[in-house]
Structure 1
């Protein structure tokens, strides 16, 4: 199936989760991350800020900051189609930015090198068990991740977002693990 159709189909399914299912399943997924050796050993974590009906990362980010983890959040630069990272010290430093995604306010933007990352939490819409993903179509993450092949990459998704196989391009970068409410998929 073509990427656009698959993306639309899964977004539609994800959008039909009840608020309660979304809350409970997000909580289960995030707990798995907190209990992982990746999280426990990481000092610096890159995590996307969820929006809409994505697995909710807001509490994960807040708790991680409380636990003295250095949290880096992505800032999208549409003109160059690149991702930059900003060190987030408090969830209140965010405002609505490009694509209606929370992003650091100008005065709280603290650009940080990707080299510091110990763990990357990668968003997406559709995933297969080999770690390939379909995002929202901007290609931001594939370009960004191509320089960070040695860093552990975990995607978080609801079980309904896993399919047998996603269409692939040469530049697609797979993640290492996918955490769902039902299982942890080792994609290696």
Structure 2
């Protein structure tokens, strides 16, 4: 049976996804460039050495330029790899080239299962955290799988950064005790450092 909290999260998730999907392709591309440039210029990213990034779905802020920038800068770059879908578990696996990625589940670029190089979560010093919506306090509403909520507590040395379109930013999102909080949020209009 669904709790009221679960229902509220589902309703808010639907709202944010509709907002994000309503953006036209040209706006998404323009906003993505502006947002990713803010990340690249941020002090925490600049000084990071091991970055856990993600390959974006087509309606999310596009992250390819950030992945390429991190690789060019000589940073160690990791992407998520789901190790146990049923229990919501994932690991960070290192890549050395964007060309290593293959089209995986949901059409999202992923690391080939024959080329997995897992990284200790405690070695990661910068994580780009995806989300359906965030609030101005830094709280996140994810897709509901719990992968990041389970992983982030292990990455105790990481600075957590979110990239979203401004339409995904709210004053408050529905949260429970497991929901992680980020350290910074970048949209095309705002830079929130918490």
Q: What SS does the aligned partner of 2:67 have?
A: helix
1:18 aligns with 2:24: yes
Corresponding residue number in structure 2 for 1:134 = 141
Deviation at 1:107, TM superposition (A): 2.6
Q: What SS does the aligned partner of 1:182 have?
A: coil
Deviation at 1:115, TM superposition (A): 1.4
Query: Which 5+ residue runs of structure 2 have no aligned equivalent?
Result: 1-6
- Partner Cα separation in structure 2 for residue 79 and residue 156 of structure 1: 27
| 2:77–2:95 CA contact under 8 A, matched in 1 | yes
Corresponding residue number in structure 2 for 1:59 = 65
Q: What SS does the aligned partner of 2:20 have?
A: helix
| 2:121–2:156 CA contact under 8 A, matched in 1 | no
Corresponding residue number in structure 1 for 2:47 = 41
Q: What SS does the aligned partner of 1:2 have?
A: helix
Q: Superposed, which structure 2 residues align to 1:1-188 within 5 Å?
A: 2-77=8-83, 78-187=85-194
Question: How many pairs align?
Answer: 187
* TM-score between the two structures when normalised by the length of structure 1: 0.94
Alpha-carbon displacement from aligned partner over 1:9-66 (angstroms, at most 9, x marks no partner): 1111111111111011000000011111111101110011111200000121012111
- Partner Cα separation in structure 1 for residue 191 and residue 154 of structure 2: 25
Range with bigger deviation, 92-101 or 132-141: 92-101
- Partner Cα separation in structure 2 for residue 84 and residue 100 of structure 1: 19
* TM-score between the two structures when normalised by the length of structure 2: 0.91
- Partner Cα separation in structure 1 for residue 118 and residue 50 of structure 2: 14
Range with bigger deviation, 91-100 or 25-34: 91-100
RMSD: 1.4
Query: Which 5+ residue runs of structure 1 have no aligned equivalent?
Result: none
